[in-house]
Amino acid sequence: MRLAAEEGFNIIFAPFAAAMMFGSLAAAVARFKELARAAGHPNSTARCSYFTCIADTPEQKRAAQERLLYYLTNFIPAVPQDPEKAPPHIRYFVDIANRVKHMRPEDLGERSIVTGSVDEIIQQFEQVEAAGIEEVICYFNFALLSHTESLQQMERFSREVMPAFAPTSTSAARPVAV
């Protein structure tokens, strides 16, 4: 983060990692912008990414959380497990792997997934926007979601959520479907 700020780069945060390192996404953004301003780059911006799933029922929300936990559990072997062998710049992954090993689906919330009704998703992204995030990358196709279901999620999101974030003089965060 310090290097990006000093070089005048923009930054992208993983909200779960930002919360682990700085206490919250908002605190991470504030620290980055503080460093960027101090380095003479007051216009540097922050982005983040979220797993995203519109869920019309509690059962659909739980299924999205279960899919994400499956995805994260299968990601564990790809990250460092031993703090003594992990390079310093990614040592925090050891803690992430340990946390994932002990997670339950209901533990996955706003630090890792934006899910719920359309109104709940809009509220969550409004909080992300208030944290200083100017663009959000949304991951719809994670852990066994079919191509058809991914497209349906993206189409609904474009139709029902994105209009709430249409460019205006007061709106900065723009969810981006990927």
pLDDT (0 to 100) of residue 26: 96
Residue 19 CB contacts under 8 Å (≥ 6 apart), including other chains: 25, 28, 111
Domain limits for position 172 = 2-177
Please tell me what DSSP assigns to residue 157: I
pLDDT value at 178 more than 80: no
CA distance linking residue 97 with residue 99, whole number of Å: 5
Count of structural domains, the chain: 1
Q: What is the CATH number of the domain that holds 64?
A: 3.20.20.30
Query: What is d(CA 8, CA 121) in angstroms, rounded to the nearest whole number?
Result: 31
Nearest by Cα to 60 from 13, 115, 20, 12: 115
pTM here is 0.83
State pLDDT tens for residues 21-55: 899 999 999 999 999 999 999 999 999 999 999 99
